[in-house]
Structure formats: structure tokens, C-alpha cells
Amino acid sequence: MNKSKNDHLTDQQEGVDFARGPKSLIDRRTAATRAMLVTPDITRQPNRRTIEARKAEFEGLADAINLVLVQSIVVSVREIKPATFIGGGHVEAIAETVKEEKIKLLLLDCQLSPIQQRNLEKQTGAKVLDRTALILEIFGERAATREGVLQVELAHLTYQKGRLVRSWTHLERQRGGLGFVGGPGETQIESDRRQLQDRITLLSQRLDKVKKTRTEQRKARKVVPHPIISLVGYTNAGKSTLFNYLTGATAKEADMLFATLDTTVRRRVLPHKREVVFSDTVGFIADLPTDLVAAFRSTLEEVTDAHLVLHVRDISNPDHLAQAQDVEDVLKDLGVTPEEVPFIEVWNKIDQADEALLEQARAQHRSDVPVVEVSAVTGQNIDELISLIEDILAKSSRLQRVILPHEAAGKAHWLFENGEVTNQFSSEDELSIVYEVRIPKNKMSGFLEEFGPFILMH
């Protein structure tokens, strides 16, 4: 593989392989890595999740990259220690376990500073990674498309940039200055940080190009008169399984966190002959690293073009309420709310759900968003979901007839971009074009303002 000028770095240097993306944080080239998981329970910090749910989710993250999980514990943290995050007694006990069980990797379900990470490694004798690093590792394995790979590498390098002091062993060396400049020259860490920044800049430029292509694709989809239905939900809620059932597609599905990362789009003709586009997005998770949220924002923004949002929830998970809130928080940041776009809550995995848990969920549900209880595996109630999708799409848009004289024909692009043009034909005198178009409720005010004099039928 040829290396570009911006990609060059000598093979002897450690840390990041600039030519092929970030070096894996976990070395699994030989035997599977023996790992220990630590879930800090910060007693003075409110959390919408139970500690049991947080521990189970963290174990799921570790399982997503096939580590050998030797032990998983919860440690109580009354006050976060600046040096090690958790208390000294816990660190000593963990160090003993690491030695006895020959553990190579220690994972903490929190965000560690570079100093805390380095101190824990020194005191325990194991490699230490925090929640952010573990999620980055998973995303690094799952990314398949060009955009996904670029997004993950950008987030990965940004994360490593702040940790050069900790993770690279050759940084104490100092390079000599250029012969005619004099002075001590730049230290190795300054050189590496500069080259990291060069790589980050290069990736950002490449991502901008990909984002422009994605924007053009979205514009093209707007011209095609098909409503877009986006599936969103917490990771492992069963979105991809439901997407496959609804569209007959073969998107990867697995009972693990972040089985799929890349947005998949498929068309389908509904029973009443209306053609729609289904869009399956990346799964959400609590405390998603900031760098990854920024990197994947363009992917998530696919949801902003949706005419209907299916919020898929794993109703068999005792923590489903907290998971739903995490999803809603991210969507709200994107400006996607039930007030702006129609929502359907799809309570998935009812074939696995406890009846008492279901009854509790029904009692707590907000009445303004319709619910369908389904099983994407067995197909239970999927017909009911499709019927509700058709009803909402019909109610959320009104059929209008607009007549545009040839001198006003330039206005027609608004109809294609903001509505669903179902028919167009010449008027009897052939001096105008008549458009039959469905206008979503959230576009109606703009439609009336733009086409008031040209509307034939309300």
C-alpha cells in the first residue's frame, strides 16, 4: 500500500499507524485477552440507571469484542480520586486479582484522565482502558463503509492525541534541530503530536467530501416522492432485525451491542401500494464518547429528513425506560421530536418480555405517541405496525392540487423537495401544469405561503 506524504511515519514508531488508521488499543493477535471489568458506583452522582443494568451493559460491551471475561465487579466510589479515580484500597485489591488471575486488560466503566490511566497501569500491572476506549475499539471493528471507517479513525486519533504521554514509550527522545536553524529541535512528542494533527486534518477533509456526497444523496431522495421512515433506538434493541423483516433486506443482525454501525436504506411498497423508504441508523448508547457523537453526527442527521420515526425499544430489558430517555435526548439535540415529526414507539422483543414488566411499561407510557408491541423475530404484530405506518403517513399529509402557469413553473421544485408529488399533467388549455401533491403537516404553512394563489383544492 502506497503511503502519501501526509500519511508517512516510520515503521519503528509506536502508537498510531498513520497509513492504515489507528493502532488497535487491544492486542488480540495471539491468545484471547484475559480481562477484568470494574464498574464504579459513584454514590453521590445521580444516575437514571441501576448499577446492575450499568454492569450488565458494560459486560455486553466487553463481550462485543470477544474478550475472555475473568471477573466483573462493582466498586463503591464516594469521591473520585484525581490520581486513580477509585480508592486506594480498591486499587490494591484489583492489583492482587490481576496478579493471581494473570489478567492482561483492566476495563473501567468511566472516563479516565490520561494521568489516572497511567497511574492505574503502574499500580495494577495491567493495561487499562476506559469506557470511551472500549467503545472506540468496538466501532473500529464494526465500521464497514468508507464514511464509517473515516469517522471511527478520526474519533480514535482525537482520543489518542490527548494521551501521547501515557501510551507512547519513545517520546522522551529529542530530535536535533535543522543544521542551519540551531536550538534543541523538537521533542519526539511534539513531532508525533504534529503528525497526529496532520492526519486528523487530512481525515477531516476526506470526511467533508463524503458528507457532501451524502448531502447530495439526501437531496436526490427528496426529489423522489417517497416518504422516509427512520428506525432509531438503543443499541441491541433489535432495529436491524425489524428493518430486515420490514424490507426483506439482509442487514447484519446479532444479539450484541453495536452489531451494525452504518446507515442502511431500502425501499418497500406498503399494502396500499404506497412506496416508502426505510432507513436503519446506528444504535445509541449511554455516555457515547463526545468525539464519536461528533464524528457520527452526519450519519445521525439522516433522521432529520424522516417523515416518520420508529423508536424501537427492547421492552424485555428492565432498563428500557432509561435507554429510551438516552435516545430521546440525542434526537432532541438533532431537533427530532414528536412535536416536529410523527413518532411510533415499537416495543420489540415482547416474546421475551415479562408480563409484569409490560404492564408497568403500559402504565407509564405517554399517551401522545402511539405504541405497537411486536416481535421482530417471530413477526408478531408486524402487520399491525405496517397498518399504523400507513394511517399516520396518510393523516400527516394532505392531498393538494396546485396549478402553475408556465411562467411560475420554477416554483415546482418546492413541491418535489417538501412534499410527495403523486401526479402531474397539463391543464385543458395547456397553458399550465397541474400537480397533485401530499404536503406533510409540518410543511403546510410554507406551502400556503408559497402557493396560496395557485391552490385548486384544500
Provide the pLDDT confidence category of residue 187 given band limits of 50, 70 and 90. Answer: low
30 is in an annotated binding site: no
235 is in an annotated binding site: yes
Q: What is the mean pLDDT of the chain?
A: 79
Least confident of 148-157, 206-215, 225-234, 362-371: 206-215
Segment 137-156 mean pLDDT = 77
The pLDDT of residue 440 is above 60: yes
| 66 annotated as ligand-binding | no
Which pLDDT tens digit goes with each residue over 387-428? 999 988 887 777 788 999 988 888 888 888 888 788 889 988
47 is in an annotated binding site: no
Residue 27 assigned to a binding site: no
pLDDT of residue 258: 56
241 labeled binding residue: no
Phi-psi region of 421 (alpha: psi -120 to 50; beta: other; left: phi over 0): beta
Instruction: State residue 408's pLDDT score.
Output: 87
Please check whether residue 133 is in contact with residue 290, taking contact to mean a CB–CB distance below 8 angstroms.
Answer: no
Per-residue confidence (pLDDT) for residue 197, from 0 to 100 = 84
Give yes or no on whether 33-129 and 224-380 have one common fold. yes
Residue 157 CA to chain centroid, in angstroms? Answer: 18
Residue 288 has pLDDT above 90, yes or no: no
**pLDDT tens digit sequence for 88-101:** 999 999 999 999 99
281 known member of a binding site: yes
Consult the annotation and say whether 35 binds a ligand: no
Judge whether 262 is annotated as a binding position.
yes
350 assigned ligand-binding residue: yes
Tell me if 203 is assigned to a ligand binding site: no
Report pTM.
0.70
The pLDDT confidence band at residue 190, using thresholds 50, 70 and 90, is: confident
Fold of 33-129: Rossmann fold (3.40.50)
Contacts 24+ apart (CB under 8 A), 426-430: 427/403
Whether 87 has a binding-site annotation, put simply, is no
- Answer yes or no: is 185 a known binding residue: no
**Stretch among 21-25, 224-228, 286-290 having the lowest mean pLDDT:** 21-25
Highest-confidence segment of 41-45, 114-118, 178-182: 114-118
Let me know: does 274 contact 195? Beta carbons within 8 Å.
Answer: no
Residue 61 near residue 129 (C-beta atoms within 8 A): no
> What is 397-452's CATH number?
3.30.70.240
The kind and range of the H/E element at 55 are helix 51-63
Kindly state the average pLDDT of the residues 283-310: 74
Contact assessment for residue 300 and residue 330, using Cβ atoms and an 8 Å cutoff: yes
Q: Is residue 176 annotated as involved in ligand binding?
A: no
The reported pLDDT for the residue numbered 450 is 87
Q: Distance (Å, rounded) from C-alpha 62 to C-alpha 69?
A: 8
Contact 434, 402 (CB under 8 A): yes
Domain boundaries, the chain: 33-129, 142-165+189-223, 224-380, 397-452
Helices (H), 365-411: 382-395
- 224-380 belongs to CATH 2.30.40.10: no
Residue 88 annotated as part of some ligand binding site: no
201 annotated ligand binder: no
Does the annotation list 249 as a binding residue? no
Q: What is the pLDDT of residues 338-369, one digit of tens each?
A: 888 899 999 999 999 988 888 988 888 877 89
